[in-house]
Amino acid sequence: MRGVSVCYRHRADEEPAISTTSTVCPRRHCVRDSHESSFRTHSIAAAAAFAALAWLRPAPVWWALVALTTVAVLAAELFNTALEQLADRLHPEEHPQIKVAKDCGAAAVLVFSIGAIVVAAALLLDALAR
């Protein structure tokens, strides 16, 4: 999907960048930035999950479950990144309440990731039972 989007940069003295290449900016900050390697790791895991689906050829309901859990994990990672970036921008010094908020965001990603692992295990058990 191509179009025009505004993608804000990290520094306050920079103007928003107008991009005509894509309407989605998260990949610029999450996939390319070296400090967001967890998004890359989750993206690789998602690709591996879909490769496993293509190899196992399960029922369509498994495709839906894997797709939903994959999207949930990636969305949680994006929200966590947004929360951390916003917190660091608004309050650069360490603060106990901001630490709690960041830890909760990371915990949400962990919970979604564990859910995805449970779905993967159930898929493998179902495939072995066939």
Active-site amino acid positions: 77
The 3-state DSSP class for residue 1 equals coil
* Cα-trace Rg, the chain: 18
Distances (CA, A) of 57 to 7, 60, 70, 78: 39, 9, 17, 29
Beta-carbon neighbour count of residue 16 at 10 Å?
A: 10
